[in-house]
Amino acid sequence: MSTPVNLENIRQAPKVLLHDHLDGGLRPQTVLDLARESGYSELPHDNADDLARWFVTAADSGSLERYLETFAHTVGVMQTADALSRVAAEAAEDLAADGVVYAEVRYAPELFQEQGLTLDEIVQAVQDGFREGERRAAAAGKRIRIGTLLCAMRQNARSTEIANLAVRYRDAQVVGFDIAGPEAGFPPTRNLDAFEYLRQQNAHFTIHAGEAFGLPSIWEAIQHCGAERLGHGVRIVDDIKVDDDGTVHLGRLASYVRDRRIPLEMCPSSNLQTGAVAALADHPIGLLTRMRFRVTVNTDNRLMSHCSMSSEFAALHETFGYGWEEFQWFTVNAMKSSFLGFDERLAIINEQIKPGYSDMLV
């Protein structure tokens, strides 16, 4: 008899998260506190419950303006070193409390310069916060490690500068690089210089590709830019055909992605909110898991989607019937795909993930 699959038990199981935005994961009360401290007066509500609901509703509304407004508020209150450290420390604590043992959390440093912080000050403040959060989690009996990904915004022209920043901090647990922001009109190849630089530096990067925009974005990210992972990558299903009798045919790009074990950083709840899929039951994660792509499960924006790693697993349990075996598979997939060194990945798999799931499966 294995442990019953429910939210409370899922929270006890070790989980690994590769795609989580720092500015999408604030505690509602922290948004309020930081707004008060900094004199930010644009928030739509002044109590945590209403504000929490507002973030989810606005992100859910199907309106791009409302969706972007949610990030205007979180970014708006994160313009000082203290604010950045606090948000980072709380992210580490919240993830640890949810049973996450390793997470790669990303953000775009260029968004936090409205009050004159330098890029270095921003990175140092966030790294200090993550280390503080790891210490607090350890004191509460939870072991977590946070790796940082630095993002460049696709619509700006600073990707080489940010890639350089990521390489300079690679010995301080900045483990990789990403580009984020609008896909349509901003193909990944606009940032080729940055990707070439990173490859020459033996540095790691993922690319947001194939979230709303289709196959060309995924193809460019992999074949022109050399992305090691795909942020979302959900539109890879456009290169997969399923016959009426259930026979599945992979196109050449989908085959390549599966053959090369290119990790897909899938974020089911986030895709529902942005309208990339209509219902979780229709989410390509079902087909891609069945076809044994290198699928990982992620939160994207915990505040806007009101989700956690555990709630994502619980939703997949309800919709697709996944249990401990699948959760372990997603978790090992994610750990194998992380930008940590090989020996460190193996250690987490063997010392935390496998024992954690064998406890659940007995």
Catalytic residues: 211
Min CB(188)–Zn ion separation in Å: 14
Contact present, 103 and 339 (Cβ < 8 Å): no
Cβ proximity to Zn ion: between 220 and 300 the closer is 300
Q: How far is CA 58 from CA 14, 225, 320, in A?
A: 31, 34, 28
For tokens 């790693």, name the residue. 309
Cβ proximity to Zn ion: between 209 and 360 the closer is 209
Cβ proximity to Zn ion: between 77 and 230 the closer is 230
Min CB(296)–Zn ion separation in Å: 13
Min CB(19)–Zn ion separation in Å: 6
Is 181 within any annotated ligand binding site?
Answer: yes
Cβ proximity to Zn ion: between 93 and 300 the closer is 300
Q: How far is CA 47 from CA 71, 86, 237, 243, 308, in A?
A: 18, 19, 41, 51, 22
| C-alpha to C-alpha distance for 38 and 35, rounded to whole angstroms | 5
Residue nearest to Zn ion (CB): 300
Cβ proximity to Zn ion: between 181 and 216 the closer is 181
Is 245 within any annotated ligand binding site?
Answer: no
Min CB(298)–Zn ion separation in Å: 8
User: Across the strands, what pairs with 148?
Assistant: 105, 174
Two tokens at 188?
Answer: 């990944």
**Which are the contacts of 245, defined by CB distance < 8 A and separation ≥ 6?**
none
| C-alpha to C-alpha distance for 305 and 149, rounded to whole angstroms | 21
Cβ proximity to Zn ion: between 15 and 208 the closer is 208
- Provide the binding-site residues for Zn ion, judged by CB under 5 A: 300
| C-alpha to C-alpha distance for 97 and 140, rounded to whole angstroms | 9
Is 300 within any annotated ligand binding site?
Answer: yes
Two tokens at 168?
Answer: 């300079």
Min CB(177)–Zn ion separation in Å: 14
Q: Reduced to 3 states, what is the DSSP secondary structure of residue 258?
A: helix
For 289-301, give the DSSP string.
HHTT--EEE--B-
The packing angle between helices 28-38 and 64-76, to 10°, is 60
Min CB(267)–Zn ion separation in Å: 7
- Relative to beta strand 248-250, strand 240-242 is antiparallel
| C-alpha to C-alpha distance for 101 and 135, rounded to whole angstroms | 13
Is 73 within any annotated ligand binding site?
Answer: no
Phi, psi of 203 (to 5 degrees): -100, 160
Residue 198 is which amino acid? L
Q: What residues form the annotated binding site for substrate?
A: 21, 23, 181
Q: What residues form the annotated binding site for Zn(2+)?
A: 19, 21, 208, 300
